[in-house]
Structure 1
């Protein structure tokens, strides 16, 4: 019996994974299956099937059931990316995360949940504006009081004194790196302390990123190496039960014509026209994808309403779209809540759900909960399709920003980007093939793109960063760009007379 099961497992994997396809178009190696823990059957339950369409193909039964495919693929991916504190990086190899019992991730406040009280704002401003070049990290009488103010300003709470000492050590190392960088007269930007200054890199990956890569050439799929793993596991599991299923977590979004990159202004910034909501903070949740999706849906629909004469950004409050609504309710479209997702998956959810709530109705909590969408209180937001821009074309990105509105993009977040304070960011370590964070391009200049982040207004230039255009696709800005196709939307040049500087 054991031999039969082993043989079935081996044969099903051979049928599912073509050895000639073990390297994708970007040369990513297919990960060694031996380093990935194989799930127990109880951890990937087979979904109930309402209808079946069984066909014979190469001696195997292929069960074509869209809903069950999405369900199983989602569970398999969740297992692969988190089981045993494992992450899949862009090469598909597992990256261990430190135990939370030893790292003690701090309790980070999210600014979206309410206004910052004036007393804390004053203390926070003092800390953020403090010239750390004057700070001697080896002098405890200097660094200890300053770290106390830093800890209180960001409402950080630690489990015990041991953890506080570990955080302080990380904080000192961050300051030393800031001082070294800012002393470089050739640097195009300045670094500073912020909420991330006492976090480990593993915590940043877990709490402050959250982008799932798309399929490159196919805008609706995950990277080929991940998709092949899912197919192999699901096929093996279900072959044992007597039939085969071919899974894919691809979603289908229609595409529109790519924008023309000629005849656009030399620079553009949608903030000047009141079309960008203030930066919010994703807190301790890998939900950057939902913040990027919310931002572009907000901006594109405000633009639509301005064209229709129904919205005045000078006198009316801005539209807000609930990230929490997406986190809780879009799982059927491939998102993994605080474990990651893609903006285009959120577009698909809003489209098929026929609406979404605003932040006031569905506030952010930074953790997955039961879906609480309220159709009666949906916000005036519409979307039909998603357009993916061709990778590596900065001019197309700029044209899309001007013609249509802000674009949800992906960037490669490096350790240097974490401490960005002001200037034009340019990091030679940035790799466009390693994008790991969803953000929004809300403007451009001949020298840089203007990016809205989801780490709160205390980070960077009020929550924004300018990324240099000194080279094409710098930090991956034009690697994975999407914008929503909104019904009745008008291109900017056709409504330029209705746009007013606020």
Structure 2
């Protein structure tokens, strides 16, 4: 894993978790460079998604599925070429970097459910993802989590997903996450969350995992031809569901049917 990052007062947790999961997968696949620019994703991904009709807002928040669309079309440069600067998070710069990375294939989705059978399938699918590497996931944060310092957290969770982290491991007792609240928080930036069949912190319901990459010689590259990818969210957030949205969630692992 890349070192724990500090998002400071930037509300771009979606970008921190996505970039972290990409860096981890690049390392797993033995790429030579995997320290990527957070700033690029925060500042340059502002285009409205053609299907979901929403746009990411950098340090004011965003969505995995909208950012994934940007990452399919654009190469991400290295961190040293475009470093994180919270004061310039609304200013996209045209920078160049050798050996930029563009995602060719990914697995991402969202499902809103409290059905125990569905949650069980979501857990099975997440365990299979973890066999491939870390996963960017949503989490329903409760204020008690701000004061977490060690051990297995088995306390209150939030009512809805309001943050994003990197899920990096699992045991019979807990999920292990890397947060972006600096290495001073938690167990040097990490947290153990108790496993529970109800998924109270909603770690299993919103995810992004890169699968395959393309090397790009240099620069921030836009390509109008998209490769096939596993975009499996048919109901991103209930308030932004498209008119043709159904309640079927299908991935390469298992198909899910949401129950009211």
TM-score by length of 1: 0.38
2:150 equivalent to 1:422: yes
1:340 maps to which residue? 61
Asked whether the 8 Å contact 1:389–1:397 carries over to 2, the reply is no
Report the structure, 1 or 2, having the larger strand content: 2
2:138 equivalent to 1:410: yes
2:122 equivalent to 1:401: no
1:295 maps to which residue? 20
2:105 equivalent to 1:384: yes
Report the structure, 1 or 2, having the larger helix content: 1
Deviation at 1:378, TM superposition (A): 5.0
SS at match of 2:137: strand
Equivalent position to 1:284, from 9, 28, 35: 9
Deviation at 1:415, TM superposition (A): 1.1
Deviation at 1:381, TM superposition (A): 5.0
2:29 maps to which residue? 304
**Deviation digits for residues 388-416 of structure 1 (CA, Å, limit 9, x no counterpart):** 276632222122111x2111111111111
5 Å-filtered alignment, 1:43-442, equals 276-305=1-30, 311=32, 319-333=34-48, 334-353=55-74, 355-367=75-87, 368-377=89-98, 379-388=100-109, 392=119, 393-402=122-131, 404-427=132-155, 429-431=156-158, 434-442=160-168
Question: What is the aligned length?
Answer: 199
SS at match of 2:81: coil
Asked whether the 8 Å contact 2:64–2:207 carries over to 1, the reply is no
Asked whether the 8 Å contact 2:78–2:97 carries over to 1, the reply is no
Asked whether the 8 Å contact 2:14–2:63 carries over to 1, the reply is yes
- Which ranges in structure 2 are unaligned for 5 or more consecutive residues? 49-54, 113-118, 215-260
**Which of the pair has more CA radius of gyration?**
1
Deviation at 1:284, TM superposition (A): 1.2
- Which ranges in structure 1 are unaligned for 5 or more consecutive residues? 1-275, 312-317, 489-502
For CA contacts below 8 A with separation 6 or more, give which structure has more relative contact order: 2
Cα separation, 2, equivalents of 1:304 and 1:345 = 25
Asked whether the 8 Å contact 1:389–1:482 carries over to 2, the reply is no
2:215 equivalent to 1:483: no
**Deviation digits for residues 183-233 of structure 1 (CA, Å, limit 9, x no counterpart):** xxxxxxxxxxxxxxxxxxxxxxxxxxxxxxxxxxxxxxxxxxxxxxxxxxx
Asked whether the 8 Å contact 1:411–1:476 carries over to 2, the reply is yes
Q: Give the CA RMSD over aligned residues.
A: 2.1
| Cα gap change, 1:389 to 1:399, in 2 (>3 Å) | farther
Deviation at 1:370, TM superposition (A): 2.0
Equivalent position to 1:450, from 153, 171, 176: 176
| Cα gap change, 1:481 to 1:376, in 2 (>3 Å) | closer
SS at match of 1:481: strand
Cα separation, 1, equivalents of 2:73 and 2:40 = 14
Deviation at 1:377, TM superposition (A): 3.5
**Deviation digits for residues 35-91 of structure 1 (CA, Å, limit 9, x no counterpart):** xxxxxxxxxxxxxxxxxxxxxxxxxxxxxxxxxxxxxxxxxxxxxxxxxxxxxxxxx
Deviation at 1:304, TM superposition (A): 2.0
Cα separation, 2, equivalents of 1:321 and 1:344 = 19
